[in-house]
C-alpha cells in the first residue's frame, strides 16, 4: 500500500473512533452499563468492504476531454476508467477546483463522489427575516404562512413505519434484506424532501431580499416532550440534515442565515409578546389570552423566530446599537 493510501486509512480509523467516543459521550448508545452500550464498547469498529474510500489528487487524476480517470487501487493504478454524470456535474468537475473524492460501491455499481470548491457570494444586507419553525406535524412552517411537507409526508412516514414493524416481526433473512433496502430508500426520500424544502425557503428569501432565521437544532430531541407514538416520528426525520441543507444553500445564494434560541417561541404571542402555556389549547392552535390573537401554532412560532433573527442580526452587524 502506498504512503498516501496508508495515511487515508489511519485518518479514517481515527475519525471512526472519535465519532464512536462522541456518540458514547452523548448517550446515543444508552446509559452506562446498559446492554447495548456494553456491546458497542466491547467490540472494535468494523468497516464494510464496500464503504466509501477517500481519494485526493495524488491518488486520482482526471482526463476531462476523454471523460476518464486514472485511479489508484491495491493492485495497481487503473487508467482510462470512464465516468459520467449529469451535465451540471460534468461542467462542475471540469471547470471548478476538485477537492477530495470518495469511491463507493453500491448495488453492483461504482460511484465517485467529487467535492468541488464553489465561489461564495457576498452576503446581502437583509430587509427582514423569514422565520422557519420545524416540528413533528409539519416538517417546516415559515413566517409567511407556508406549510412545508405536512399531511402527505406524514402519511408516507406512517406507512413506512407499519411496513418496518411487519418486517421486523418476521425476523427472517429475506425480511432483513428487505429492511436494509427499505431503509436506504427512506433515507433517499427524506433527503429529497429536505432538499426541496430547503431550496423553496432559500429561493423565497433570496427573491424578497430577506435572511433566514431557524431555531437551534442542537438537542431538539431532548427539548421536545412527546407522546410515545410521536417519538418515532421525531426520531425518523433528520432535522439536522434539513438544517445543513438550508445552511449551504443559503451560503451559495448569499442569503444570511442565523440560528436563534427557540425557547418559548410556541408559547409567546407574536403580536403582543404575552407568554403563557395556556396560549396553546391544542397542538395546532395558538390563542393569546392577553390580546386575543388566534393563529396556527407553528405560524406563530415562525413569526417569533423571524423577530429573534432580526434582533440577532442587528446585534451582530451593529453591536453599538444593541
As a whole number of angstroms, the distance between CA 53 and CA 90 comes to 21
The CATH class given to the 129-150+194-317 domain equals: alpha beta
**Local structure of residue 241 (DSSP, 8 states):** H
SS3 132: strand
The answer to whether the CB of 163 falls within 8 A of the CB of 182 is yes
Candidates 271, 303, 302; CA nearest to 287 is 271
The answer to whether the CB of 239 falls within 8 A of the CB of 134 is yes
What predicted TM-score, i.e. pTM, was given to this entire model?
0.74
Residue-wise pLDDT tens for the chain (322 aa)? 778 888 888 999 999 999 999 989 988 888 888 998 999 999 899 888 888 889 998 899 999 999 999 999 888 899 999 999 999 999 999 999 999 999 998 888 999 999 999 888 999 999 999 999 988 778 899 999 999 875 666 677 778 778 888 888 888 888 888 877 777 787 888 888 889 999 999 999 999 999 999 988 665 555 555 555 555 554 556 778 888 999 999 999 999 999 999 889 989 999 999 999 999 998 889 999 999 999 999 999 999 999 999 998 976 555 433 3
Alpha helices of 147-269 — where are they, by DSSP H? 151-170, 173-208, 220-223, 228-235, 239-253
Beta bridge partners of 68: 63, 82
As a whole number of angstroms, the distance between CA 85 and CA 113 comes to 10
CA-angle at 80, arms to 76 and 81, nearest 5°: 80
Quote the cell numbers at residue 183: 431503509
Cβ atoms < 10 Å from Cβ of 215: 26
The answer to whether the CB of 303 falls within 8 A of the CB of 270 is yes
Beta bridge partners of 286: 295
What is the tens place of the pLDDT at every residue in 172-231? 888 888 877 777 787 888 888 889 999 999 999 999 999 999 988 665 555 555 555 555
Quote the cell numbers at residue 54: 477517500
Helices and strands in the chain, H and E counts: 9, 13
Amino acid at each position: 500500500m502506498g504512503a498516501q493510501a496508508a495515511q487515508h486509512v489511519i485518518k479514517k480509523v481515527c475519525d471512526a473512533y472519535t465519532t464512536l467516543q462522541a456518540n458514547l459521550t452523548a448517550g446515543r448508545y444508552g446509559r452506562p452499563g446498559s446492554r447495548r452500550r456494553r456491546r458497542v464498547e466491547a467490540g472494535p469498529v468494523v468497516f464494510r468492504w464496500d464503504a466509501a474510500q477517500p481519494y485526493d489528487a495524488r491518488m486520482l487524476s482526471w482526463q476531462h476531454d476523454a471523460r476518464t480517470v486514472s485511479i489508484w487501487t491495491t493492485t495497481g493504478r487503473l487508467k482510462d476508467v470512464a465516468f459520467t454524470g449529469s451535465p451540471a456535474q460534468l461542467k462542475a468537475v471540469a471547470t471548478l477546483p476538485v477537492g477530495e473524492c470518495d469511491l463507493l460501491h453500491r448495488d453492483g455499481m461504482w460511484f465517485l463522489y467529487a467535492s468541488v470548491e464553489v465561489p461564495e457570494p457576498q452576503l446581502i444586507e437583509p430587509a427582514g427575516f423569514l422565520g422557519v419553525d420545524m416540528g413533528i406535524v409539519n416538517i417546516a412552517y415559515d413566517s409567511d404562512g407556508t406549510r412545508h411537507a405536512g399531511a402527505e409526508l406524514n402519511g408516507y412516514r406512517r406507512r413506512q413505519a407499519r411496513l418496518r414493524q411487519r418486517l421486523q416481526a418476521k425476523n427472517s433473512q429475506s425480511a432483513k434484506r428487505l429492511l436494509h433496502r427499505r431503509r436506504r430508500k427512506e433515507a433517499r426520500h427524506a433527503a429529497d424532501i429536505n432538499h426541496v424544502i430547503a431550496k423553496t425557503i432559500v429561493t423565497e428569501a433570496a427573491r424578497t431580499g430577506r435572511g433566514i432565521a431557524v431555531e437551534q437544532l442542537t438537542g431538539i430531541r431532548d427539548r421536545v416532550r412527546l407522546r410515545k407514538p410521536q417519538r418515532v416520528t421525531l426520531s425518523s426525520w433528520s432535522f439536522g440534515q434539513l438544517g445543513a441543507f438550508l445552511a449551504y444553500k443559503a451560503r451559495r445564494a448569499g442569503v444570511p442565515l442565523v440560528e436563534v434560541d427557540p425557547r418559548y417561541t410556541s408559547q409567546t404571542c407574536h403580536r403582543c409578546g404575552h407568554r403563557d402555556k395556556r396560549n396553546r389549547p391544542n397542538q395546532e392552535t395558538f390563542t393569546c389570552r392577553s390580546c386575543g390573537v388566534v393563529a396556527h401554532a407553528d405560524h406563530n412560532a415562525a413569526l417569533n423566530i423571524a423577530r429573534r433573527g432580526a434582533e440577532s442580526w442587528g446585534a451582530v452587524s451593529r453591536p453599538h446599537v444593541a
